[in-house]
Amino acid sequence: MKPFAYVRATSLQEAAAAYASHPGSRYIGGGTNLVDLMKHDVETPDTLIDLTRLPLHDIRELPTGGLRVEAGVSNTDLAVHPLVRTRYPALSQALLAGASGQLRNVATTGGNLLQRTRCPYFQDVSKPCNKREPGTGCAARDGVHRDHAVLGHSEHCIATHPSDMAVALAALDAEIELYDGEHGTRRVAAAGFHRLPGEHPERDTVLRPGEIVTAVLLPPPAPGAVSLYRKARDRASYAFALASVAAVLALHDGRVRHVALAFGGLAHRPWRATTAEERLTGAVPTDEAVREAVDAELAAARPLPDNAFKVALARNLARDAVATLVRSAPGAPPARPQP
């Protein structure tokens, strides 16, 4: 690991000022991914700016009925919060489906959003990687890419974003609040926070240099909406998603009034399934209608030689997720009597 200086910030202004005077620095929250990448020499900051002592540890209900989750809230505290469990079950379930108990205790909300891909070539400095070192090529495309993207990838990068939480936030229409010393505060949609790789896979997000994630804002749940998170992985616990889906559904008179679907494990960012959502909105959510909508979404998939299984996996997860929500949503057609 490269030697680095350490700055403990006590205010956002101080943190931003420290970054401005050290462009080679990195902010650190829980550090569960950053410290690991520093051990691998993938990250080589000359200064670490510690954000964990900033007063950003609250979860607050907003007058609108939404929730404001500050960036320093741990993944554990967010997952177990009563309002998150009752109003945004997809978010609680996504967090609990990720990492281990030890990691969730330390990892923060802001850091979860900013974690890097687990592509093994990105984490191995002896291999070419356009994300780590632009212009060097992609070792994954002709290498082991079973875990890699099937949607939205480019010739430069086929990595996936590893976060479960971010997938739930995309489906829940959350916003990310950002601060920078020069421009102050702005908000971006969670579904648009992460980027597709295009020609610049080194940029994971729309974050500007030095900008700090300060909070996640959850809108009030749509009336009557239910949500869940489903994840398929190689182990039953403590593994990244091969494919996952966050689903939100509200019905009215047996028809879909609101639906949001986001896939994880398939792309360089959480993949909001807008094609499927458009087809389902206003429709009676029969198995046939859901299958047709999900298939239309996944028609855009361009699987690599070793990961075509992900398309079928995602299709099955999404169909099962929506069918489960249809059964539990208020306003669902009456269930057939039990035999």
Residues that bind another protein (CB under 8 A): 1, 3-9, 14, 17-18, 20-22, 28, 31-32, 35-36, 38-39, 47-48, 50, 52, 76, 79-80, 82, 85-86, 89, 92-93, 96-97, 99-103, 105-106, 228, 235-238
| Closest CB to another protein among residues 51, 150 | 51
* DSSP bridge pairs for 205: 194
Q: How many residues does the chain have?
A: 339
| Closest CB to another protein among residues 226, 266 | 226
Distance, CA of 50 to CA of 47 (rounded, Å):
10
The dihedral through the CA atoms of 265, 268, 272, 274 has a sign that is negative
Q: No. of H helices and E strands in the chain?
A: 11, 12
| Closest CB to another protein among residues 228, 301 | 228
Taking the complex as a whole, how short is the minimal distance between the CB of residue 101 and another protein, in angstroms?
6
According to DSSP, the β-strands at 255-264 and 243-252 are antiparallel
Distance, CA of 61 to CA of 105 (rounded, Å):
22
Taking the complex as a whole, how short is the minimal distance between the CB of residue 227 and another protein, in angstroms?
10
| Closest CB to another protein among residues 82, 305 | 82
Distance, CA of 273 to CA of 27 (rounded, Å):
32
Taking the complex as a whole, how short is the minimal distance between the CB of residue 90 and another protein, in angstroms?
10
Token output for 211: 């900008």
How many other CB atoms sit within 10 Å of the CB of residue 313? 20
Token output for 22: 């050290």
| Closest CB to another protein among residues 96, 248 | 96
Taking the complex as a whole, how short is the minimal distance between the CB of residue 104 and another protein, in angstroms?
9
Residue 184, burial from CB neighbour count under 10 angstroms (0-12, 13-18, 19+): exposed
| Closest CB to another protein among residues 206, 239 | 239
Rounded to 5°, angle at Cα 264 from 298 and 278: 45
Taking the complex as a whole, how short is the minimal distance between the CB of residue 3 and another protein, in angstroms?
4
Taking the complex as a whole, how short is the minimal distance between the CB of residue 271 and another protein, in angstroms?
22
| Closest CB to another protein among residues 12, 138 | 12
How many other CB atoms sit within 10 Å of the CB of residue 116? 19
* Secondary element (H or E) of residue 247: strand 243-252
Taking the complex as a whole, how short is the minimal distance between the CB of residue 171 and another protein, in angstroms?
16
Residue with tokens 């807008």: 274
- Phi, psi (5° rounding) for residue 194? -90, 150
| Closest CB to another protein among residues 136, 328 | 328
Q: Decide if 194 contacts 114 (C-beta within 8 A).
A: no
Q: Decide if 113 contacts 91 (C-beta within 8 A).
A: no
Distance, CA of 203 to CA of 194 (rounded, Å):
9
| Closest CB to another protein among residues 35, 304 | 35
Token output for 42: 């993938």
Taking the complex as a whole, how short is the minimal distance between the CB of residue 216 and another protein, in angstroms?
19
Taking the complex as a whole, how short is the minimal distance between the CB of residue 239 and another protein, in angstroms?
9
